[in-house]
Amino acid sequence: MATPHIDAAPGDFADIVLMPGDPLRAQYIAETYLTDVKQVNRVRNMAGYTGTYRGRRISVMGHGMGIPSVSIYAKELITEYGVTRLIRVGSCGAVRDDVAVRDVVIGLGASTDSGVNRARFAGMDFAATADFALTRALADAADKLGVTTRVGNLFSADLFYDPRPDTAELLRRYGIVGVEMEAAGLYGVAAEFGARAATICTVSDHILKGDSLDSSARERSFDDMMRVALDAVLLDDQCSNIGEVDA
Ligand SMILES: O=P(O)(O)O[C@H]1O[C@H](CO)[C@@H](O)[C@H]1O
Ligand SMILES: O=c1cc[nH]c(=O)[nH]1
């Protein structure tokens, strides 16, 4: 049952996993918001935990940086551990004038310069879209918590340090709400294997203005986003009636 990348036992993961890129952000979420926490993955230090949030069993695990990395973890969680819902809880860069550092954005879709979805979709363009109900749950949870969000198109970049001088301006003109490195791949994996996926990100940089948060802030300070994602799980359960409630 263990995979080359995850050494958890069968049943160690809940049916829903919150996934930050940073495994230390996963540890922060588990330690801050979950009770009865058990660490369920240690391979490559890609920490994974399962615990309880308001009576609901939830897992949280890092997925690393970039589409190849998230694709491995998401695929194995779905096909080997029975995970049916994945919510990426990430950081992203802003390009729009009306999106600032620490704003929260939700990825309805994800454009990309990666070729992975063409590889899996017979060379055609796959519209990488989030699960609608999970996305609505994120937006509704944010409204209830008073957290302002922008829901729109992310750009999942292969290169964090993009040498092309005009990319950010192009993305700005097309209304991209955040630049990150995984959502398009995550949505492709979810489509391929029949799972539901969504993405919420906190803006850590403004690419055109040069604003930037430090690594500690990216690890431990995105609490608005974390609370929204956790409450969205409960809202999504209410809509789909499939919650895993601890006895
Ligand atoms: O903070 P995370 O969730 O890792 O997300 C963003 O941060 C990393 C780059 O610094 C990439 O993984 C990007 O998608
Ligand atoms: O991929 C990312 C993540 C955070 N900030 C960026 O500029 N890009």
Per-residue model confidence (pLDDT) at position 1: 75
Ligand nearest the Cα of residue 205 is 2
User: From CA 245, how far away is CA 237, in angstroms rounded?
Assistant: 10
User: From CA 196, how far away is CA 190, in angstroms rounded?
Assistant: 6
CATH number reported for the structural domain that contains residue 216 in this entry: 3.40.50.1580
Residue 227 falls inside a structural domain = yes
Per-residue model confidence (pLDDT) at position 241: 65
CB hemisphere CA count around 8 (13 angstroms): 26
Domain extent, residue 82, equals 16-240
Residue 247 falls inside a structural domain = no
Q: What's the domain count of the chain? A: 1
Reported ipTM exceeds the 0.90 cut: yes
Residue 5 falls inside a structural domain = no
Q: Is residue 203 lining ligand 2, measured as CB closer than 6 Å?
A: no
- DSSP one-letter code for 209: T
Residue 4 falls inside a structural domain = no
Confidence (pTM): 0.97
Per-residue model confidence (pLDDT) at position 242: 59
Cα–ligand 2 centroid distance for 92 (angstroms) = 4
User: From CA 224, how far away is CA 241, in angstroms rounded?
Assistant: 25
Residue 1 falls inside a structural domain = no
Residue 9 falls inside a structural domain = no
Instruction: Tell me if residue 21 falls in helix, strand or coil.
Output: coil
Residue 90 falls inside a structural domain = yes
pLDDT tens series, the chain, 247 aa: 799 999 999 999 999 999 999 999 999 999 999 999 999 999 999 999 999 999 999 999 999 999 999 999 999 999 999 999 999 999 999 999 999 999 999 999 999 999 999 999 999 999 999 999 999 999 999 999 999 999 999 999 999 999 999 999 999 999 999 999 999 999 999 999 999 999 999 999 999 999 999 999 999 999 999 999 999 999 999 998 655 655 4
Q: Is the Cα dihedral 111, 230, 30, 194 positive or negative?
A: negative
Pocket of ligand 1 (CB under 6 A): 20-22, 65, 90-91, 160, 180-182, 218
Residue 246 falls inside a structural domain = no
